[in-house]
Each structure stands twice: as structure tokens, then as C-alpha cells.
Amino acid sequence: MIMPLLKIHQLDKRFQTDKGVTHALKDIHLSIEKGEFITIIGPSGCGKSTLLKIIAGLDADYNGQVGLDKKQVTGPSVDKGFIFQEPRLFPWLSVEKNIAANYSLKDKNIKEKVNELIKLVRLEGFETSYPKELSGGMAQRVAIARALLRNPKVLLLDEPFGALDAFTRSHMQEVLLDIWQENRTTMIFVTHDVDEAVYLANRVIIMNARPGSIRKIVKIDSPYPRKKSTKSFQEYRHLVLNEFEKVEELELINSAGI
């Protein structure tokens, strides 16, 4: 029996606000295999980002179990890379030094690995450029390379392409898939975009509105590379969109008190 890389059991998350206690996540059960590409989609406020932060160890105030590679997640570690919507680069460091971060480029092994990652994320020629000289998509590629340098067991991406224009976003999807297929790093990717969710994933996790719970998991069996114009893609897109619309309809009914 193959053990999952990530296993979440009976996860429940509540937090205190000025208006009282908010129930963010309810009874989350999820197993993710090594090398999978998972996308998570759901309405705003359903707890997608909260779930990602709990997996990353950035939020330890919850009930239930979250295990990575048979060990309980108790805090941040190099096993878990995290990519935010903003690249969060050091403005005073060059591309290669941002990727290396607290490692020294004088170390031959680190220098070689940084060079490999620069090639992988398609930033050759920009090694000595600074963040202010980069586009949004290029800056995110630096952030991804920085996370991969630590060789994480799982890479967590919280709407990393949300602020990009459509053309750059499409290009970044291709870059990310190239990285995933090259390294087979397990990836968990939060998005609001149905097309993006279907295009990238092996499985799409569709979440209900708050308290966030898993409504449905859709396995995407289409081979890579995928084309959004194909019948197969449109069928999966319709399936995911149909479930997503049901979530939004239920949210409207609940908010109206019907």
C-alpha cells in the first residue's frame, strides 16, 4: 500500500473576530500522493488560503491532523515551499542572489543549483538583474526558483498568477507545468480561475462556502500538454464549473436566509 505524501484528517479551523467566532474549515479529509498537481477552487472566503497556510505550518491553531511524509506538521520547514500572490523578493538583491537568499553563491554546489533553476524558470540573461527591472511574471519565476532551491517535498501556491495579465498568466502556467514535469515536485495550487484549475491539475478540489469543506474532487485524466479548445478539456471545465456554480447558488441561498 502506497502511503500518501500529505494526509489531512478531520481538519477543523475556527478563529476569533470582532464579530465573534468564524468557522473557516470544517471536517477536511484529503490525501495527496507524491508528485501530484492539485488545484483548489472555491468562492472567496471558503478557506482555501487558510488551508494552504495550515499545510505550510504557518497556522498551527486548528483541530485535526495534518501529516507530511508521515510526520505531523507543527510549523514552517524547508519541506514546504510557499508562493504568495506577490513575489516578495528582496529589492536590493539580484535575481541569482534572491534565489540563493540566505545561501552563499560562493558555494559551488549552490551556484550550480541556482544556475540550473534560472534555466528551468527561463530567466537566462537576467541573473544580475534586480526586481525593479523584472515584469510581474518574471518576478514570480524568481520566487518559484527560490522555493525550489530548498528542494521542498510540497510546493504551495496561493493564487500566484492572480495579479498577472491574461497573456502573462497563460505563459506562467506553461512555465509551471514545465517545472512540475521536470522535478515532479508535489504542488498544491489555489486559484479562482476554473480554466486554470482544470488546465494544470491531476485533481481539482472544489470547496463549499464557509465553513469551508470539500464538495467534490474531480480527477482530470487528460494527458499533458493540454489544449483548452479540445472536447475533453471543455467537458472537464463544464463539470467543474457546474459544481462551482452550485456552491455559489447555495451560498446565495444561505446568505439570504432562505
Inter-residue contact 22 to 210 (CB < 8 Å): yes
Backbone CA torsion sign across 80, 72, 16, 215: positive
The x, y and z cell numbers of residue 40, run together, are 483548489
What pLDDT digit, counting tens, does each position of 173-183 carry? 999 999 999 99
What pLDDT digit, counting tens, does each position of 127-140 carry? 999 999 999 999 99
- Is the pLDDT score of 114 beyond 80? yes
Confidence band for 149, pLDDT divided at 50, 70 and 90:
very high
Confidence band for 104, pLDDT divided at 50, 70 and 90:
very high
Separation CA 131–CA 88 (nearest Å): 10
Strand partners, 63: 12
Separation CA 226–CA 22 (nearest Å): 39
Inter-residue contact 14 to 22 (CB < 8 Å): yes
Separation CA 21–CA 247 (nearest Å): 22
The x, y and z cell numbers of residue 42, run together, are 472555491
Does the predicted model carry a pTM greater than 0.85? yes
State the SS3 of the chain: CCCCCEEEEEEEEEEEECCEEEEEEEEEEEEECCCCEEEEECCCCCCHHHHHHHHHCCCCCCEEEEEECCEECCCCCCCEEEECCCCCCCCCCCHHHHHHCCCCCCCHHHHHHHHHHHHHCCCCCCCCCCHHHCCHHHHHHHHHHHHHHCCCCEEEEECCCCCCCHHHHHHHHHHHHHHHHHHCCEEEEECCCHHHHHHHCCEEEEECCCCECEEEEEECCCCCCCCCCCHHHHHHHHHHHHHHHHHHHHHHHHHHCC
- Residue 18's pLDDT is 82
Of the candidates 222, 166, 175, the one whose C-alpha atom is nearest the C-alpha of residue 199 is 222
Inter-residue contact 176 to 144 (CB < 8 Å): yes
- Residue 163's pLDDT is 87
What pLDDT digit, counting tens, does each position of 187-245 carry? 999 999 999 999 999 999 999 988 899 999 999 999 998 999 999 999 999 999 998 88
The x, y and z cell numbers of residue 44, run together, are 472567496
Confidence band for 92, pLDDT divided at 50, 70 and 90:
very high
